[in-house]
Structure 1
C-alpha cells in the first residue's frame, strides 16, 4: 500500500500533521509527504515519512505564486509516477482540499480523503466531517482514520519528530525565547522579551534566543549582552535539539511552538486570539497560555493587529511570563535542571 499525505503550507502545520502521518504509515508500505517549501524540513523530521515531495500551491499559500498550467501538470505527472493507492489531503478549516484532490484524481490515485465544506462531487471518496473547534492534530487524524489509518499500539497521538536531532551548542539549564512570528498580530513586544531575558539572567538561568535568518536583528536585540543569540544559525534539526534540552520555551503562535511540543518541552504560549487557541495552541505538552483570548481581534485571522496598541499581548508582562514559568516548574538555577 502506497500512501500520499498532503499538507501544503508551513512548518508548524506539517508538524501538527504528525499523528495523522504515523497513522497512515502504520497501514502503509510506503508514505510520501507532499508539502510546500516552508514545510519541507519539518516533513523530513516526521516519523513515518519515507519520501518528501515539495511543491508551491497557488491555492494554499498566503503569498501565492501564479497558477502555472505547466507546473500543475508537472505535479500531476510526479504523483502519477508515484503509483499511490490512496491520498490523504490535510487542510485547515479555511482551506479547500478540492484543487489538490483534482490533481490527485487526474494522476490516477484511486482513493482520496479530506475534510471538505464544499460539495466534492467525485473528487473525494472519503468526505470527512469534524467538529468546528478541535485541535489541528485531531482534525488531521480524523481524516487519516477515515482513510484506513490507525495509530500503532502505544502511540499516544502527540506530536513527535525523529529522535536523532543534533545536540544544542549551549549547555543547559536555559530557557529558550523565540520572539519572531510570521505575522505582527501574533508578536509579543521585543522589549518585553529583552526584559524577560534580563530577569531570567538575574535568577541564574541561561537564556537562548532563536529565530530565522531574517530575524537576526530581532534576536540580537532580545539576547542583549547576556543571552546567547542563535538567530539565523540553526537548521530545523538543530533547533529541535536546542528546544529539547530547554527548561521551557517562551514563544508566540508560530512553528517553533509546535516543534517544542514535538520534543516534549513545556511552552509558555504568548497567544493572540486572531485564530482559535482550541485549534492551534501547542498540543499534548505542558503549557501556559497567556494573552486575552476574548480580545476584539478574536477570530479575525488578522496579520496586522486591528486594535490600537495590540493590547491582547502588550498587556502581558515579563512578570506574567515568569509566573507562568514557575507554574511549569522552572526555578532559579540552583534548583532547575531535569533529566531527559
Structure 2
C-alpha cells in the first residue's frame, strides 16, 4: 500500500471511530498517503486527524445512487493513481466509486452483493468483533487473521494554537470553569436527554461557578434555546454558531462534557475531555465513547435499548428517569472540592 483512498462513513461519530485504523495503516505501511472521500459534514473531523493527507468531497447523500455522477467522480479519481481503497461503509453504493476509479486493491467487508467491487474481502464475525472500532481495525489485517490488540483510542487534534484561533474568531474568552453540553442527537429524540434535565444540571453547575456551553448544529437550536430559557444566565448557546472545527476546539477547552450518544460525544472523547455519556434508546455495546475518562450512564430498563428514533412506548423512561442528580454525581470527580 503506497497511496490509498479511504471511503469514510457518513456519520461524524463513525468517522472518528475509524481514526485508529488510519494510524495503524500508517504503521503497517510507512510513508503511505491516505486521502479520505467524505461528505462535507464529516470532513472537519477528518481534517483534524494526523494520518489523513487531504479530504475529497463526496457529494452523495444518504440513499442517493446517481450512478452516472458516481462514475464521473470515479474517473476523476483515477487520475490520482491510488493503489488501494479502504471502504468503511458496508453498502453497495459506497464501493462503486473505488471500482469506477480502477483502484486495483479494494478492501472491505463482504456484504450487499459487493463481490465484484470489493476484491480483498473480510468476513464480518459480529460476535468476535462487537465494537465498531474493532470492525474498522480489522480492515488493517489480512483477511482471516486475528485482530492485533491492544486497540488505540481515536485522537483529534486541537492544539493550544487551534483553540486560541477559535476563541479569537468567535470573540470569546474562556470562563474560569466551563462544562460542555451536547444536547442534540441526529438520529432522533429517543437519544436526547430532556431539556429540563439539562437545564437543572446547568443550574446546579452554575451554583458551583461553571458556565455551560451548548454545542450542536442549527437543528439543535430548539432544544438548546429551551435549555437556555429554563436556566437563564447559566448557559451560552453555541448551537449553529460555530463550525464543527470550532466546536472541536471549544469542547477541547472545556473542563468536562455531558453528552447524548452523538457525534459530539465522540468528539469529546477524541480530544481527551472527561465526559458523561447518556444512553437511552441506544447501547454503548457497539459505539461507546472511546476514552478512559468516560462515564456511561444508562438505566438499563427492560425496554431499552430499542434502537428506535422515537420511543415506541411513548414515555421515554430510559432518559426521563435518568435524573440530573445522577449526572451531577457522575461529574463530581472532575470538579474541585
Q: TM-score range by the shorter chain?
A: 0.7 to 0.9
Paired position in structure 1 for 2:20: 19
Once residues 103 and 245 of structure 1 are traced to their aligned partners in structure 2, the CA distance between those partners, rounded to angstroms, is 38
Alignment of 1:48-67 (within 5 A): 48-57=51-60, 61=62, 64-65=63-64, 67=65
Once residues 215 and 103 of structure 1 are traced to their aligned partners in structure 2, the CA distance between those partners, rounded to angstroms, is 33
Q: Is the 8 A contact 1:297 1:307 kept in 2?
A: no
Report deviation, 1:266.
1.4
Report deviation, 1:317.
0.5
Paired position in structure 2 for 1:125: 119
- Residue 79 and residue 233 in structure 1: after superposition, are their counterparts in 2 closer, same or farther (change >3 A)? same
- Asked if residue 42 in structure 1 is aligned to residue 42 in structure 2, the reply is no
- Asked if residue 181 in structure 1 is aligned to residue 185 in structure 2, the reply is yes
CA RMSD of aligned residues (A): 2.3
- Identify which of 214, 234, 259 aligns with 2:242: 234
Q: Is the 8 A contact 1:12 1:258 kept in 2?
A: yes
- Asked if residue 7 in structure 1 is aligned to residue 8 in structure 2, the reply is yes
- Identify which of 243, 251, 255 aligns with 1:243: 251
Report deviation, 1:166.
2.1
Paired position in structure 1 for 2:155: 160
Q: Is the 8 A contact 2:224 2:237 kept in 1?
A: yes
- Residue 105 and residue 231 in structure 1: after superposition, are their counterparts in 2 closer, same or farther (change >3 A)? closer
Q: Is the 8 A contact 2:71 2:100 kept in 1?
A: no
In structure 2, the gaps of 5 or more residues are 144-149
Q: Give the secondary-structure state (helix, strand or coil) at the position aligned to 2:334.
A: coil
In structure 1, the gaps of 5 or more residues are 148-154
Q: Is the 8 A contact 1:297 1:306 kept in 2?
A: no
Q: Is the 8 A contact 1:158 1:283 kept in 2?
A: yes
Once residues 153 and 176 of structure 2 are traced to their aligned partners in structure 1, the CA distance between those partners, rounded to angstroms, is 25
When the two structures are superposed, what TM-score results if normalisation uses the length of structure 2?
0.85
Q: Is the 8 A contact 1:36 1:55 kept in 2?
A: yes
Report deviation, 1:256.
0.6
Q: Is the 8 A contact 2:163 2:253 kept in 1?
A: no
Once residues 324 and 176 of structure 2 are traced to their aligned partners in structure 1, the CA distance between those partners, rounded to angstroms, is 21
Once residues 98 and 151 of structure 2 are traced to their aligned partners in structure 1, the CA distance between those partners, rounded to angstroms, is 31
When the two structures are superposed, what TM-score results if normalisation uses the length of structure 1?
0.85
Alignment of 1:70-109 (within 5 A): 70-91=68-89, 95-96=90-91, 98-109=92-103
- Identify which of 210, 229, 236 aligns with 1:205: 210
Moved segments of 4+, more than 3 Å: 117-120
Once residues 158 and 224 of structure 2 are traced to their aligned partners in structure 1, the CA distance between those partners, rounded to angstroms, is 27
Once residues 10 and 297 of structure 1 are traced to their aligned partners in structure 2, the CA distance between those partners, rounded to angstroms, is 23
Could you give the per-residue CA deviations for residues 131-165 of structure 1, whole angstroms, max 9, x where no partner exists? 42522222111112338xxxxxxx96211112333
Could you give the per-residue CA deviations for residues 27-58 of structure 1, whole angstroms, max 9, x where no partner exists? 24311101123211112111111111121445
Report deviation, 1:237.
2.1
Once residues 324 and 17 of structure 1 are traced to their aligned partners in structure 2, the CA distance between those partners, rounded to angstroms, is 28
Paired position in structure 1 for 2:132: 136
